């Protein structure tokens, strides 16, 4: 079964992030897209916005990579990377802005859901992949389940949490106290010998 991301730019985005992300985070990013796109199709979102959704999902954790470990929160680093990528592909400024917001806000509950289709769908896709499957509904048929099975979880909760904390330990400014990375860092510092999934995940 071949997964198609819906356009040349999104296919190029997959090739790009595949060269940078560790397997667990790459698979998670694709699963987030599969779940978010399932909703997008059900809601009748047009092809161009669905391709933008694919790019946003694929880039949403790119800020965890060594190549994008800048001074900002990992969400913002990933959003900036997507903006540069889409600018090179000559996408329009409004669509680039929407992708940026979707990535930058994906760990911001109560905000992402009110900032338009892309931020809402990326946020829902992330939450659904981490267990909130009720957000997707009950019509998850075999094609979606089969596609998700192509991208195993590979301990994503531990891998992603450790990546975020490792960056925050090197650069505490990446983890403001009120943010999701800040909560992850605080939980790690409170339980330095804890093994497994970060308690704040």
Q: State percent of the chain over pLDDT 70.
A: 98
Q: What is the mean pLDDT of residues 64-92?
A: 97
Helix (H, G, I), strand (E, B) or coil at 63: helix
Contacts of 14 (CB under 8 A, 6+ apart): 5, 30, 54, 58
Question: Nearest CA to 36 among 16, 21, 18, 50?
Answer: 50
Q: What is the pLDDT of residue 141?
A: 61
Q: What is the pLDDT of residue 135?
A: 81
Domain edges within the chain: 8-153, 155-201
Q: CA torsion, points 33, 39, 45, 51, in degrees to nearest 10?
A: 10
Q: How big is the CA angle at 196 (ends 135 and 201), to the nearest 5 degrees?
A: 35
Buried b (16+ CB within 10 A) or exposed e, 138-153: eeeeeeeeebbeebee
Concatenated DSSP letters for 113-141?
GGS-HHHHHHHHHHHHHTT-GGGT-S---
CATH class of 8-153: mainly alpha
Q: What is the mean pLDDT of residues 130-153?
A: 83
Contacts of 8 (CB under 8 A, 6+ apart): none
Cα gap 38→79, rounded to integer Å: 22
pTM: 0.94
Q: State percent of the chain over pLDDT 90.
A: 86
Q: What is the pLDDT of residue 143?
A: 86
pLDDT in tens, 80-111: 999 999 999 999 999 999 999 999 999 999 99
Cα gap 29→143, rounded to integer Å: 18
pLDDT-based confidence at 133, cuts 50/70/90? confident
Q: What is the pLDDT of residue 138?
A: 57
What's the mean pLDDT when you consider all of the chain?
A: 94
Q: What is the pLDDT of residue 13?
A: 98
């Amino acid at each position: 079964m071949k997964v198609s991301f819906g356009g040349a730019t999104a296919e190029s985005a997959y090739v790009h992030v595949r060269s940078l992300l560790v397997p667990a985070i790459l698979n998670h990013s694709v699963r987030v897209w599969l779940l978010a796109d399932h909703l997008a199709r059900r809601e009748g979102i047009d092809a161009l916005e669905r391709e933008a959704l694919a790019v946003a999902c694929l880039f949403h954790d790119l800020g965890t990579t060594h190549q994008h470990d800048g001074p900002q929160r990992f969400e913002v680093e990933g959003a900036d990377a997507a903006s540069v990528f889409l600018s090179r592909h000559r996408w329009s400024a409004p669509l680039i802005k929407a992708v940026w917001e979707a990535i930058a806000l994906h760990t911001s509950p109560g905000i992402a859901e009110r900032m338009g289709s892309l931020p809402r769908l990326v946020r829902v896709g992330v939450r659904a992949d981490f267990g909130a499957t009720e957000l997707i509904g009950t019509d998850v048929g075999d094609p979606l389940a089969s596609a998700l099975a192509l991208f195993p979880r590979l301990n994503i909760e531990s891998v992603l949490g450790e990546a975020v904390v490792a960056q925050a330990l090197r650069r505490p400014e990446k983890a403001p106290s009120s943010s999701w990375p800040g909560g992850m860092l605080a939980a790690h510092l409170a339980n330095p010998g804890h093994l497994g999934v970060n308690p704040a995940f």
